Amino acid sequence: MNVIDLLLKLLSFKSLTPDDAGSLQFIEEYLDGYEALYVNKEGVKNLFLSKKFGEGTHLCFAGHVDVVPAGENWDTNPFVPVIKEGNIYARGTQDMKSGVAAFVQTCKEITDFDGTLSILLTSDEEGDAKYGTVIMLEHLKEKGMLPDFCIVAEPTCETKFGDAIKIGRRGSINGYLTIKGKQGHAAYPEKAINPVHQIAPILNKIAGINLDNGDDDFAPSQMVITDIRGGMEVTNVTPSSLKIMFNVRNSTKTTQEEIKLHIDKCFDGLDYTLELTQGSYPFVTTRDSKVVERLTQSIENVTGIETKLSTAGGTSDARFMGAYGIDVVEFGVINDTIHAPNERTSVIEVEKLYEVFTHLVQNFK
């Protein structure tokens, strides 16, 4: 079986979150020389496969086998992969069974490595991710088995295969503001406290402002207003309160506390409440890390492209690796049809991804 045959097999599993649909058992049996460890919880399956070749570095490949629902408007059955004009169509081709197939095939064929090779797979990345990779990492830490370096094979490339590696990700902070006023008649504004009028001169101090200046790795952390609402949808009653929701995709330079201080300063003298929640935390792997340098070299060797190092985009399970101090990067096929109808990737991209991973493992010294 080659990497394309393996991908076609993985795509045939209807592994909707959190159901792995038997794909993890198939991968376990396919890598019969690797030691298997399962940590399952609340219907989520997590598989860790490892093989010790020597006493050196522990390099881990990580990813997920679960996919989002197919939705409508597909030209073909989303769970029966079709190859057409050099492209493979099915749910999960880009996100991220192409990456899984590439590193599983690499680990299948490698016969020598100066250390330990491992694979961490979950069936709960597209969902809440409460019982997925993070649970397995907790278990590996308890057993003293955390990897030194990790590559998450999410789709990272932008327009050409090999053009981007993710070396970090921004965090995500949600804010919920309530400005309290006093309801009244629109004809007697002096008898009311209108929170809309109160917020008007302040809005430009929070909407779209940068909370830091960014750096070589991250763009500035910007406060993005996502919702404003208040009142009773009538023209003659002023609202008793106004609610504002916002999101900050934060770099390592901005924290919840700094956001709170900014809001406190802007809303000084007003009656308001603020709630902040954080779904993910920012992380970055240094540019001179061994895994960054070796992966960059392997991409150039296979594609001839000098890849850029990026932190753009949303979140991935790499954030859990970063929280454990593991040097982690992300690299995979082009990301342009994930979660969309007729999701597809090209045969040549998958073959080149496999070549990159193979070259990386062979030269990870």
Residues in contact with 143: Cβ distance below 8 Å, sequence separation at least 6, in sequence order: none
- For the record, the structure tokens of 24 come out as 């993890």
In 10 A of CB 129, how many CB atoms?
24
19, 124, 125, 355: the active-site residue:
125
Residues with Cβ within 8 Å of residue 299, at least 6 apart in sequence: 162, 165, 305, 307, 331, 356
Residues making up the chain, counted from first to last: 365
Closest CA to 356 of 130, 162, 216: 162
The first and second tokens of residue 288, run together, are: 């001179």
Active site residue 125: yes
CA separation for the pair 266, 201 (Å, rounded) = 10
Report which DSSP code applies to 193.
B
Helical (H) or strand (E) element with 185: strand 184-185
Q: Which residues of 41-61 are buried (b: 16+ CB within 10 A; e: fewer)?
A: eeebbbbbbbeeeeeebbbbb
Dihedral angle computed from the Cα positions of residues 266, 170, 135 and 96, in that order, rounded to the nearest 10 degrees: 140
- Select which of 66, 95, 317, 330 is catalytic: 66
Residue 357's φ and ψ, nearest 5 degrees, are: -65, -40
Residue 365: which residues within 8 A CB-CB, separation 6 or more? Answer: 114
Question: Where on the phi/psi map is residue 189: left (φ > 0), alpha (ψ -120 to 50), or beta?
Answer: alpha
Q: Which amino acid, 272?
A: Y
What whole-number distance in Å separates Cα of residue 267 and Cα of residue 210?
17
Residues classed as catalytic: 66, 125
